[in-house]
Amino acid sequence: MWFQIFFSIACVFAAIALTSFIISNNKEIDGKAAPGWWIVSILIVQLFFVAILAVWWKEWWGTHPWLMYVSTGIAIAGITLGAIAKIYTKRHW
């Protein structure tokens, strides 16, 4: 039980830290981040919340392992989109 609580709190803090890191490092001249960076951050961070679900509902998780594969694919897509956006903005600014 303590592991589940600790893991959940650690995942929430990691999700908040990762989101704030992505948003703060990709602000425009006016001090705001483009909506695309929020989408990239959500695509990556959702993996933490799926991991929290997996820790709390192990029986359900055993019957639905495909959710982790889909969630990992979504996170990889978010990382790829973020990398493409970063490369594109460095070349065109």
Q: How many CB atoms lie within 10 A of CB 35?
A: 8
What pLDDT does residue 56 have?
87
Specify the DSSP class assigned to residue 31: S
Total-model pTM: 0.81
Domain count, the chain: 1
pLDDT band at 93 (very low <50, low <70, confident <90, very high): low
What's the chain's average pLDDT? 87
Could you list the residue range(s) of the whole structural domain that residue 26 is in?
A: 2-92
